Every structure is written in structure tokens, then in C-alpha cells.
Amino acid sequence: MSEDKPVALRLEIVARWGKARATLLHLPHAICETPMFMPVGTQGTIKGLTSEQVEDVHCNLILGNTYHLGHRPGPEVMKELGGLHQLMNWKRNLLTDSGGFQMVSLLQLANITEQGVVFRSPHDGSEMVLTPEMSMQIQNCIGADIMMALDDVVSTVTTGPRVEEAMHRTLRWIDRCVEAHKRPHEQNLFGIVQGGLDMDLRSQCLKGLVERDLPGYAIGGLSGGESKHHFWRVVDKCAAELPENKPRYLMGVGYSLDLLVCSCLGVDMFDCVYPSRTARFGVALVKTGTLILKHREFSKDFRPLDDECQCMACRNYTRAYLHSLVVQKEQLAGQLLTAHNLTYQMDLMRGIRNSIIEGNLDRFAQKFIDLQFPNGDCPSWARDALKSAGIDIQ
């Protein structure tokens, strides 16, 4: 590794179990324990929670969204206010995406050219371009501890030359990103491995990114409707080929089974809106799966969501109370369930981490599967993936 490359992070591997690893990721605002889940605070807030409550779920890194924050309050205001940490009074780490994904997912008129992502402004209909340079400029204003390179995202169900084109473009854009990034001593720029479901393209992209010696790498373009059998094989391959001494981030993954499997395959970081979004729909995540609190069966259920959970909702309220909030469509229901679901995710990740350190990840995985799939109906892809990670599910 060249010593002169500016980085703002350090990765310390604490323990390994098979392909999985437990690390300490030293970032500018806090040390993170991995494998970790990172809640999504799209517009500078985790929906409904105060910063203090997010700290209470023992969360050291949350996501902000460049597309949304670039629109409101906008880079100028953000810069003037001293960045997103300042604006939202968040003392721990932040990560921002490139803004490209929303252009593709939210906007029908997005078109990708060599220059950047061309899209029609949803506000005034004018044509705008998000270039790698602009993405960097906005992310530099936001000031997150980790920022993501602008990549050319194609849907995983796309096949043919478009996938290859996207992969090559992603590599060309990474150089423009590195060039445009003004704060490499404070902010870590991660590259994103693309290449769809094609293992050769993934390999090529990965090699190209690794040659650029970036502070960390993400596996992108997944969880877009592809089959889970393809999904885990791509994750497995990328995790195996990414350098040991750099953090590995799997983008957009947040179902608990996926978190377990991909941690076993050697991924360090995950993000997803699932736990907080599902909370707002009145769904609680528990060890045995989910509780849909609007169901009448909970109206007279006076137990907490989870006996062992230490979150604000479980310590203070019954399922019956939460049921009454959910059916009356109280905002408070979303607040309490978000706090619970995030605590659940954090506890799950801590459990995975501890079992890596204690050397019993296989037993942890077995127990997790037994609780989530009591009828032995664990999906075959998960069995295959865990088997490749050295864990035989009974």
C-alpha cells in the first residue's frame, strides 16, 4: 500500500470465522464494530427519531441521501451550515450515496451518457446532468465520513452489452471522482463494484477498482429483483476477491436472513430502509420473524414485542398498546417501532459479531435459522450460501 494516499479510516480485523470477519472500522467520528447495519436517514433524519434516540440504539453510522439533500437544503446551504453533521446535530459517522441511484429509481426520464446521468428536473422540467464531479462536490459539502463514487447502475435483470458498458463506465467515472474529491483527508471515497450477474465483468470491475487503491469498496447493483441464487454467488465472489485490509459494503441489503448470510460470506457493512420503512407500516421485527401489529390478535396481547429487547418500545409498552397506536394511525407508532426495529437489527449484527469473535458463528447461524424457520423451510439459496461459508444448516 502506498503510504502517501490520503485516507480517513483504518480497518482492524479482530477475529475471523471461515469467510466471516469481525473488525473495528476507525472512522473520523467514531469507531464502528463490524459486521454492522447502517440505518438510512434519507433527508438528514431517521424518520421520526431524535438524534439521541438513534444514539440509544447504539448506532455509530447512518446514511444520508445525496440526491435528496442536494435538492433540499441544497449544497450551498449545506456548506454554509457546516455540513450534515452540524445541520442534524449528529456526532457520529455519516455515509452518503452518490445520488445516481435515485436518478434511476425515481426518475423515468433518466438517461446515462458518458458525461453523467441526464435527467429532467422533477421541479421545473429542465434537463440536468449529474456528473461524477457534481456528485463529489455535493458530497464534499455534506461532509459525510464515507462517500460513494458515482456509478453506472443497471438493473440486475438487464443482460447483454449494456451491463458491460456500465461496468467500464463505472471504472472511467471512478477516476473522475477521485480527481474531483476535494477532502480525501476527512472523507473516504468508496468505489462500487458493478457488472450485473456476470462473474467475469464483476471480476474485471473489482480489479480495476482495487488497482486504484480506494479506502473501501462496495458491492453494488444487487437486490434489484435478481434471483437469490445469483445474488449470494455474486456477493460471495466479490467478498472473496476484495482486499482483506479494506471494508466491504453490500448496498441495499437489510432483511435479517440476508444480513446473516452475507456476513458469513465476509461482508462488513450493510444499509437498507427496510427496518424503518416496515416500522412505519406497523411491522415489528423479532427473532421469530415479524409481528404485523395491526392484526386483532395483538389487541389483547400484553407482552412486550420481545422479552429480551432493551429498546424504548419493549421496555415500556405492550403489544396491545402498540396495536392501538397502529390502528389509530398515530405517528408515535412509527417512532416506537422504528426504534425497536433498529435495535433488533443492531442486536442481530452484534450477535453475529460476537459469535465470530467467540468462534461459534455456525451455532449462531443454526439457532437463527431454527427460530426464523421453525418448520425447516429455510430457503435453499441460504443453505447453499451458508454451506459455502462453511456452515451446514441441519
Partner 1 sequence: MPMRKVEWTPSVTEGEARTGCLSIVRVDEQGNHIDRIKKIDTPCFFLGSRAGAPPNFTVDIWNEFKKKCNAVQIEAETISQFGRGIHDFIAVGEKQNNFRPRGKPEATGEERLTETAIYLSFRDPLNYNSICNVDGLAVSNDAFSFVVRQRGKMKLTTHQGVKLLKDLDGDLIESISMDVPYHVTSKKMRRSVDVSIHILDKILESNTGNVLGVIQGGSDERSRTVSAKETAKRNVCGFVLGSFGLGEDLSQQSQMIRWILPHIPAEKVRFIPGIGTPLQILEAVSLGCDVFNSDYPHLIGEYGQAIIFSTDASVDRPYKINLRDRKFQLDQEPILKGCTCYGCQNHTRAYVCHLLATHEMLANVLLSVHNCWHYLEFFREMRESIGRGGFNRFKETFLERYYSKAEE
Q: Measured from the CB of residue 106, what is the shortest distance to partner 1 in angstroms?
A: 14
Catalytic residue among 271, 301, 306, 362: 271
| 123 annotated ligand binder | no
Are the CB atoms for 198 and 223 separated by under 8 Å? no
Please report, as a single letter, which amino acid is at residue 139.
Q
Q: Measured from the CB of residue 360, what is the shortest distance to partner 1 in angstroms?
A: 28
Q: Measured from the CB of residue 33, what is the shortest distance to partner 1 in angstroms?
A: 20
Neighbours of 159 (CB within 10 A): 12
Q: Is 347 a catalytic residue?
A: no
Query: Which CB sits closer to partner 1, 203 or 324?
Result: 324
| 101 annotated ligand binder | yes
CA proximity to 130, closest of 146, 109, 157: 109
Query: Which CB sits closer to partner 1, 90 or 231?
Result: 90
d(CA 146, CA 117): 21
Contacts to partner 1 by CB under 8 A: 43-45, 47-53, 56, 68, 72-73, 77, 80-81, 87-89, 299-300, 302, 304, 310, 312, 315-318, 320-321, 324-325, 328, 330-332, 334-336, 339
CA proximity to 184, closest of 138, 219, 244, 136: 136
The set of residues, in sequence order, having a beta carbon less than 8 Å from that of 384 and lying 6+ positions away, is: 229, 232
Q: Measured from the CB of residue 342, what is the shortest distance to partner 1 in angstroms?
A: 13
Q: Measured from the CB of residue 333, what is the shortest distance to partner 1 in angstroms?
A: 8
Q: What are phi and psi of 162, to 5 degrees?
A: -60, -35
Query: Which CB sits closer to partner 1, 168 or 350?
Result: 350
| 340 annotated ligand binder | yes
| 230 annotated ligand binder | no
| 309 annotated ligand binder | yes
Query: Which CB sits closer to partner 1, 43 or 113?
Result: 43
| 362 annotated ligand binder | no
| 29 annotated ligand binder | no
Query: Which CB sits closer to partner 1, 83 or 191?
Result: 83
d(CA 371, CA 349): 16
Q: Is 97 a catalytic residue?
A: yes
Q: Measured from the CB of residue 292, what is the shortest distance to partner 1 in angstroms?
A: 18
Query: Which CB sits closer to partner 1, 329 or 387?
Result: 329
In this structure, what C-alpha cell is assigned to residue 358?
467467540
**Bridge partners of residue 34, in order along the sequence:** 23
- Judged by phi (left if over 0) then psi (alpha if -120 to 50, else beta), residue 282 lies in left
Residues labelled as active-site residues: 97, 271
Which residues define the annotated binding site for substrate? 97-101, 151, 194, 221
Annotated binding site for Zn(2+): 309, 311, 314, 340
